[in-house]
Amino acid sequence: ADEHFTDAREAVGFVRQFHDEQPAAGDPAARIRAVLDEIDRTGTYEHTPAELAYGAKLAWRNAARCIGRLYWRSLVVRDLRHLSSADDIAAECFDHLRTATNGGRIRPVVSVFTPDRPGRPAARIVNQQLVRYAGHPGADGRWIGDPAGAQLAARARDLGWKCGEEPFEVLPLLVQERPGERPEWYELPEDTTLEVRLSHPEHPWFAELGLRWYAVPAISDMTLEIGGVRYPTAPFNGWYMGTEIGARNLADADRYAMLAPVAERLGLDTSSDRTLWRDRALVELNVAVLHSFQEAGVTVADHHTESERFLKHVAQEKRLGRPTPADWSWIVPPVSGGLTPVYHRYYDPVDLAARPAFVAREPW
């Protein structure tokens, strides 16, 4: 039994937890026997739709780095396990984005495609996120776009994609059906990628910076692991916490690096770190992000609100007798950490072996 593709102990553990937490599912004994029998015969087993849906929610609930877990029960789980071709995956990723976007009222969604099976590893989405911007050195040597999108842009260009010259060029989706094969690439249809142009509530010049960001952060390079079954193609999204855009994507020196340009337009004294010009520019960049998403009617959370929600989640889980392992350094926001209630406490220790979980995808 040890040589089975799918770990029987993981399978049994998950089925037990599913039945524990979902009493309506009835007695687990029969289901456990069926699962073990299926693993014996085929090396793996198939989740029921209810198991898949609940397993995906548990994976979210177990995400120790995620501050957004209060709403874990509301995850929309799209069961697409019958799909494994690049064309189908791409088409359904686009539908995922439309469903998640929901005209701006972002919905947390996961789309689950065919899992790894004995001798048949699943297809993979090459992109880190379904929507992201390309980056490349321009003709004059200056960087254009998002350095975090440079590798994928280069790869897509090798496959025949034509990259534009603007700083916010949406990357195509690359799907690889099998190890060693050339990925297929697909331009994202217009209606899949809602974007927000950034402006500032007090500084009209801010809009002239020409900044924007997309509405749906959808991670597409993690494996969803449930009861020993690995789903490497399971893109998921929540809504943005503003700091992810304003304090990392647009601020980091190895991303859009906008602090200096913003500080310049703000007229700040940048002669010394002591003037806290970076800190001031950072706050204004984040003000612009929250303001612009709100004006555009696109869901976004500020870090104060999301911190309070998270502590509510911790308290709620505690009442249910469950710990909430959390990774302090990921939970505390990168802006004004000390101002948020999540800063002033410790959390249950992270258990890297906890499952179901979203885990780093292993190379083929």
Of 92, 244, 284, 306, which residue is the catalytic one?
A: 244
Here's the x/- map for its own copies, 190-209, by CB under 8 A: it reads as -----------x--------
Annotated active-site residue in 31, 51, 61, 66: 66
Which residue stretch of 14-22, 87-95, 175-183, 280-288 sits at the interface with its own copies (rule: CB under 8 A)?
Answer: 280-288
Q: Which residue's CB is nearer to ligand HEM, number 113 or number 239? A: 239
309 interacts with its own copies by CB under 8 A: no
- 70 touches its own copies by CB under 8 A: no
Distance, in Å, from the CA atom of 237 to the CA atom of 101, rounded to the nearest integer, reads: 10
User: Minimal distance in Å, beta carbon 332 to its own copies?
Assistant: 7
185 is catalytic: no
Three-class secondary structure of residue 79 per DSSP: strand
Contact partner at residue 236 from ligand HEM, its own copies, none, CB < 5 to 8 Å by partner kind? ligand HEM
Q: Residues 72, 185, 213, 239: which is the catalytic one?
A: 239
- Binding its own copies (rule: CB under 8 A), the pick from 218, 335, 356, 357 is 335
The Cα-based distances of 354 to 111, 115, 141, 237, 326 in angstroms read: 21, 19, 46, 21, 12
279 touches its own copies (CB under 8 A): yes
4 binds its own copies (CB under 8 A): no
Q: Which of 31, 61, 69, 81 is catalytic?
A: 69
Is there binding between residue 270 and its own copies (CB under 8 A)? no
- Whether 264 is a known active-site residue: answer no
Concerning whether 66 is annotated as a catalytic residue, the answer is yes
In degrees and rounded to multiples of 5, residue 83 shows phi and psi of -110, 135
Which pairs with CB-CB distance under 8 Å and at least 24 residues apart come from 182-187?
A: 183/86, 183/126, 183/155, 183/159, 184/86, 184/87, 184/90, 185/156, 185/159, 185/160, 185/161, 186/90, 186/94, 187/161
Catalytic site residue 239? yes
Binding-site partner at residue 286 among its own copies, ligand HEM, none, CB < 5 to 8 Å by type: its own copies
Is residue 348 within 8 A of residue 106, CB to CB? The reply is no
Q: How far is the CB of 185 from its own copies (least distance, A)?
A: 31
Q: Does 304 bind its own copies (CB under 8 A)?
A: yes
Number of H helices, E strands in the chain: 10, 16
List of residues contacting ligand HEM (CB under 6 A): 60, 63, 65-68, 71, 75, 108, 110, 236, 238-239, 241, 244, 301, 306, 330, 358
- DSSP output for 101-170: HGGGS---EEEEEPPPBTTBPPPEE-SSBSS-B-EEE-TTS-EEE-GGGHHHHHHHHHHTPPP-SSS-PB
Q: Tell me the residue nearest to ligand HEM as measured from the CB.
A: 238
Burial of 180 (0-12, 13-18, 19+ CB in 10 A): exposed
| Token pair 């083929």 in the structure block, residue | 364
Specify whether the CB–CB gap between 258 and 285 falls below 8 A: yes
Residue 110 interacts, among ligand HEM, its own copies, none and using kind-specific CB cut-offs from 5 to 8 Å, with ligand HEM
User: Distances in Å between the alpha carbon of 335 and those of 99, 145, 238, 251, 332?
Assistant: 30, 23, 20, 11, 9
Partner whose binding site includes residue 336, from ligand HEM, its own copies, none (CB under 5 to 8 Å by kind): its own copies
Matching residue, tokens 């509405």 = 215
For residue 52, state whether it binds its own copies (rule: CB under 8 A): no
Which residues contribute to the site for its own copies (CB under 8 A)? Answer: 201, 243, 247-248, 251-252, 259, 273-276, 278-280, 282-283, 286-287, 290-291, 294, 302, 304-305, 328-329, 332-339, 343
Q: What are the residue numbers of the active site? A: 66, 69, 239, 244
